[in-house]
Structure 1
Amino acid sequence: MAFRSAIDQQAAVNALLDQKFSDSALVRYSPEEMKAQVDAELENASAFAAFGYELDLIKKHRALAEDGCSFLIVHAPEDAQAESVASVARATKAVAAQHYGRFMIEEISGLASGNTPV
């Protein structure tokens, strides 16, 4: 999930902790940390990364980080957990949120247009 402010990010953290997610299931990235992460991923991306949506999504994450967004990564392996995270994303002003499933990446923020690839 990406948030315009650290306050919105913290609201999401609090909501997830209230829903019994452990703090160890949450990873926070500052805008600077996300830019560095994306740059490292782009530097090491294979030719196969150009197929599909993931490379475009990584570039979108960098653009959001350049705009000052903070990020929250949540380990949610069960469907019910993923739905809880999606509800939190929608309730806490996430500007973007994706669920990385086994075979696809799904936009879960509720803000995507109908033609957004998944």
Structure 2
Amino acid sequence: MAVKRMTKTQVPVSFGAFKPVGHVVVAFPDDQSAQQAARDLRELGFGSEDVLFYTGDEEGREMRQMLDGVSGTAEFGHEVVLMRRYCELAREGCGWLIVFAPEDEQALRAGEVARRYGARVAERYHRLVVEDML
């Protein structure tokens, strides 16, 4: 089954928890680092629709809204732990990229760019697990 590209209006969830399968979620120290990383990713061949930028305020607001709607079943999952971590990093002013990278090579390139710009978190979402890219 093919994964769908996330958009800012269509955020993938499972039992109410953030679950962007086929994407790498990256928190950078600030918005400027995230925006530079987005430019580098586009230079590496990622399309503008493949790289979503969020400010810390935007990411924090979205995660808090989703956490309010998480089902009891999802409450014990790792995705919810990550969502809480994302809220914390957003409060600290991190800039965010969510990169559509369903293929291994794409995910590796996203991870390399994340490291280059001092990412605090880089998580690749698979169907059953979430892989730490740092």
| Fold agreement, TM-score > 0.5 | yes
Higher helix share: 1
**Equivalent residue letter for 1:92:** Y
Shift of 1:100: 0.4
2:89 paired with 1:64: yes
**Equivalent residue letter for 1:63:** E
Q: Deviations over 1:19-48 (max 9, x none)?
A: 100011111111111111011111110111
Aligned mates of 2:125, 2:92 — CA distance in 1: 23
Identity, in percent, stands at: 33
Higher strand share: 2
Aligned partner of 1:50 among 72, 75, 81: 75
Aligned mates of 2:31, 2:77 — CA distance in 1: 31
Q: Deviations over 1:47-93 (max 9, x none)?
A: 11122311110000000000111111001111111111111111111
Asked if the contact 2:31–2:56 (Cα under 8 Å) also holds between the matched residues in 1, the reply is: no
**Equivalent residue letter for 2:85:** K
Alpha-carbon RMSD: 1.0
Aligned mates of 2:117, 2:56 — CA distance in 1: 18
4+ long deviations beyond 3 Å: none
Aligned residue for 2:132?
107
Task: Normalising by structure 1, report the TM-score.
Answer: 0.87
